[in-house]
Amino acid sequence: MLKFILIAVAVILLTIGLVKLVDKFIPSKFKPVLKIVLWVLIAFLGYQTYMSIYTPILFNKEKNKRYAKVIENLKDIRDAELAHRQVTGKFTDNFDELVKFIETAKYTITQRRDSSVLDVAMTKQFGVDSYKDIVIVDTLGFVPVKDSLFKNSTRYKTMMNVPVGKPGEKFKLQAGFIDQNDIKIAVFEASVKKDVLLYDLDRDLVIQENQVISVDGVNGDVLKVGSMSEVNTNGNWPKTYGSNE
């Protein structure tokens, strides 16, 4: 892009020089037409130079606005998935199941307290009363998952829909287990391609965005939360878009 700008500026300066040469050396009867042509060329190149600078600014502004909306949905999906794992012990790759879970499931409210009981074996062995410490878990009640996560909002019913970009698209949702130190650990990932979010914007800038590797950008060609290859429920967006944890 910088190379194009430099070339355009050079051509504009050259054209201005040609205007002066025309004014000095070309016969008077040809000057008006040539001057008009050259000034039109200057205006065109000036416009192209301006747009080469302004277009990326507009692109980034629109991109950031779309990413922010998508991230809100991804956060809702993550919250719902984490609740699903807390209650059921696993994540799900089915949005219908996740919505039904939110509407019907409940958290169990518990209280842990320390206590002690007679240690029968030790009492029998030594002939004196012996006690051992234990932890008692009391169930205090139940709280609907929906009330805890979404209160009076029904946005969980549409959290699977990509809110911007190409119409009718849904997030890709995956879930399963990975082995870590011979232990199966539940994982999930919700994602959407940047091409879907930016499908109607400048194609060259979209291609550049897909190749981003930066601490203040969304690296790679997808916007996502979670991971199917590691134990990670974070989003891949930088802090400039809000918390990713």
Tokens of 5: 């700008």
Break the chain into its structural domains and give their ranges.
2-55, 60-105+151-241
Q: 38-84: per-residue pLDDT in tens?
A: 667 666 766 666 666 778 889 999 999 999 999 999 999 999 999 99
105 against 5, higher pLDDT: 105
CA neighbours closer than 13 Å in the CB half-sphere of residue 132: 8
- Angstrom CA distances, 174 to 34, 53, 198, 226, stand at 65, 40, 23, 9
Neighbours of 108 (CB within 10 A): 12
Q: 205-228: per-residue pLDDT in tens?
A: 999 999 988 888 899 999 999 999
The proportion of the chain whose per-residue pLDDT surpasses 70, expressed as a percent, equals 76
pLDDT of residue 240 exceeding 90, the answer is no
Neighbours of 211 (CB within 10 A): 9
Strands (E) across the chain are located at 106-118, 131-144, 172-180, 183-193, 222-226
Most confident range (mean pLDDT) of 1-15, 131-145, 161-175 is: 161-175
Q: What is the pTM of this model?
A: 0.73
Q: 86-128: per-residue pLDDT in tens?
A: 999 999 999 999 999 999 998 766 567 777 777 777 777 777 7
Query: Nearest-CA neighbor of 175 among 75, 71, 84, 67?
Result: 84
- How far is it, in rounded angstroms, from Cα 245 to Cα 237? 10
pLDDT of residue 186 exceeding 90, the answer is yes
**pLDDT number for residue 166:** 95
Strand partners, 133: 116
**pLDDT number for residue 134:** 74
148 against 121, higher pLDDT: 148
CB 43, CB 35: distance < 8 Å = no
**pLDDT number for residue 163:** 97
pLDDT of residue 178 exceeding 60, the answer is yes
**pLDDT number for residue 154:** 95
